Amino acid sequence: MSEPLRLGIAGLGTVGTGLLKIVQTHPDLLAARAGRPLAISAVSARSRGKNRGVDLSDYDWEDDPVALARRDDVDVFLELMGGENGPAKAAVEAALASGKHVVTANKAMLAIHGQAMAEAAEAAGVALRFEAAVAGGIPCVKALAEGLAGNRITRVMGVMNGTCNYILTRMAKAHLTYNEVFEEAHALGYLEADPTLDVGGIDAGHKLALLASIAFGTRVAFDAVQLEGIDRVSIADIEQARDMGYRIKLLGVAQMTGRGLEQRMQPCLVPAKSPLGQLDNAMNMIVLEGDAVGQIVLRGAGAGEGPTASAVIADVMDIARGAVLPTFGQPASTLAAAPPACSAAPAPYYLRLMLQDKPGALAKIATALGDAGVSINRMRQYGHDDIAAPVLIVTHTTSPDALAHALAGIEATGTLVDPPVALRIEEV
């Protein structure tokens, strides 16, 4: 059998320890499938003495991940620390400069520095792989870059943050408010140290930017992703959407249009009977659409020790087999700097308005919509009291610019008790 592929692992948190468990549990299986053994040379983490539930006695220890990345007995450097800059970035750059293959689960780092790192990897003739950075155990990067390489991709979309999907599912099933479920998720340890990374759509936006680069042959452009979190979604929105046959999801969508590359991560209504509408709890789902294959749907665990470590080891196995592919599906030098779309494609919208319970208020709303060229598909008023009259409106397909003009007109009427809520309806 060939010489072993020697690994250096930086980061022994949830993913790193999960990876060690796989390597230690299935050495013969991995060697048979890779055509050569996998051997861990050394590891690195912030705390050497921490009990991680795995045996580290056979591996050298490096306090400095950069030193680990430069070791002569490391063929593949695995960056599992996280963080878009700092030690993670420095160590990956050192590994690439030393001619090492790199496998990472770090979507934030790649969303910001991916182009430069891809160029460095390809110049050195080594692999930079990141299956674990997007949707945990779902092999969506490989599916897009390899399985669908013969397709012109028309749209990428999905639920890419399990925490947000858990919050929205829990609100719907338990009839709890956003704040109640947010605190529950925090207590369960589901949220990042900075919760806005999850509920603000930033974490999922990083993932969308990476998939869009592969799908459309463009440079990663996270700063062009339109981000909107789920904090304004109320239990009333969830229940009204359900009555209309929809579910609310934090949905990422990327597509190339005549206006440029459209990338958005925002709460949307999706049909309740669609695969996305039926996705519950902390699961992820990626939907890929190509001109030859049509639509394919990938569903699975988007985080966690086993699923994410499974994705890391899949990249390691490809390298062990000798597969050194371009980071984003084609040579980095050929990736286009796509102009961001000036606005999203037209769509119908859900509007929830809290109106003063006074004569003529609803007429003013209808006038503001008509003046902006936004027509009403459905409208209903429900559960009003002496202070406010909740009104639900579903528009016909309209442009985001027209909707923004309509909302400005609505606010100018002076009839609102609270700011309006507008959610896009995405047909999937």
Residue 319 Rama label (left phi>0; alpha psi -120 to 50; beta): alpha
Report phi then psi at 102, rounded to 5: -130, 135
Handedness of CA 132, 137, 138, 142 (dihedral sign): positive
Angle in degrees, CA 105, 111, 113, rounded to 5: 95
From the candidates 107, 142, 207, 249, which is the catalytic residue?
Answer: 207
Describe the strand order of the beta sheet including 76-79 as a list of residue ranges. Answer: 60-61, 38-44, 5-10, 76-79, 101-104, 128-129
The C-alpha atoms of residue 251 and residue 316 are separated, in whole angstroms, by: 30
Distance, CA of 111 to CA of 1 (rounded, Å): 38
Can you tell me the distance from the alpha carbon of 354 to that of 364, in angstroms, rounded to the nearest whole number?
A: 13
Handedness of CA 15, 16, 21, 26 (dihedral sign): positive
Task: Report which secondary-structure segment, H or E, holds 408.
Answer: helix 400-412
Give me the torsion for CA of 289, 342, 369, 231, rounded to 10°: 70
Tell me which H or E stretch contains 245. Answer: none
Separation between Cα atoms, residue 411 and residue 409, nearest integer Å: 5
Query: What's the token pair of residue 147?
Result: 């399985």
Distance, CA of 127 to CA of 147 (rounded, Å): 18
Q: How many other C-beta atoms can be found within 10 angstroms of the C-beta atom of residue 51?
A: 6
Is 207 one of the catalytic residues? yes
Structure tokens at 100: 């090492």
Distant-in-sequence, close-in-space partners of 150: CB < 8 Å, separation ≥ 6:
292
Q: Which residues contact 403 (CB under 8 A, 6 or more apart)?
A: 349, 372, 374, 395, 422
Contact 288, 275 (CB under 8 A): no
Give the Cα-Cα-Cα angle 101, 108, 342 (nearest 5 degrees).
120
> Which residues are designated catalytic?
207
